[in-house]
């Protein structure tokens, strides 16, 4: 699942830069990779939207939950266990947070 890099909304219309929400997908990706970088002690350059959380990263189940709890606090959202089981890539996590916020 790719993260949109441009500033277009669903209809393809340009969204003005200054009206972009602080929680758009790019910002979420940025925050998420900051958290992962700190959690796994890895540089941010290792993370891309299609990075597989478990295959490509040394993320164990406790670290996964650390990430989930921190994301819930940061974005004031509830992330269900079922939702966690569905995510495979960093892009999936971005999508999940974006949908929970909107």
Partner 1 sequence: MREGERGTKMDSNEKDFAESLLRIFDNVLLTEGMALSKGYFSDLSIAELHTLNAIGPYDARTMTETANILGITVGTLTVAIDRLVKKKYVERQRDTKDRRIVRISLTRQGKLAYRMHSKFHRVLVKRIMDPLSEQEKEILTKTVTEIDAFVEEQYKKYSNGQHYKKIVRDDTEV
Binding site for partner 1 (CB under 8 A): 61-62, 65-66, 68-70, 72-73, 78, 81
Tokens found for residue 60 = 């164990």
Calculate the alpha carbon distances from 90 to 12, 34, 52, 53, 96 in Å: 24, 12, 7, 6, 10
Q: Which is nearer to partner 1, 50 or 66 (CB)?
A: 66
Q: Say if CB 51 and CB 88 are below 8 A apart.
A: no
> Which single residue is written with the structure tokens 């650390």?
66
In angstroms, give the least distance from the CB of 62 to partner 1.
5
Q: Which is nearer to partner 1, 19 or 61 (CB)?
A: 61
> What whole-number distance in Å separates Cα of residue 67 and Cα of residue 74?
10
> What whole-number distance in Å separates Cα of residue 45 and Cα of residue 33?
9
Query: Catalytic: which of 11, 56, 60, 70?
Result: 60
60 is catalytic: yes
In angstroms, give the least distance from the CB of 53 to partner 1.
16
In angstroms, give the least distance from the CB of 22 to partner 1.
23
Q: Which is nearer to partner 1, 7 or 74 (CB)?
A: 74
Give the residue numbers marked as catalytic: 60
């Amino acid at each position: 699942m790719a993260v949109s890099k441009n500033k277009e909304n669903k209809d393809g219309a340009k969204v003005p830069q200054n009206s972009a929400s602080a929680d758009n997908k790019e910002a979420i990706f940025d925050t998420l990779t900051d958290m992962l970088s700190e959690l796994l002690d890895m540089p941010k350059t290792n993370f891309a939207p299609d990075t597989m959380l478990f295959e490509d990263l040394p993320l164990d189940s406790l670290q996964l939950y650390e990430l989930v709890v921190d994301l819930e606090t940061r974005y004031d959202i509830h992330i269900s266990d079922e939702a966690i089981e569905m995510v495979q890539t960093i892009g999936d996590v971005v999508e999940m947070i974006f949908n929970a916020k909107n």
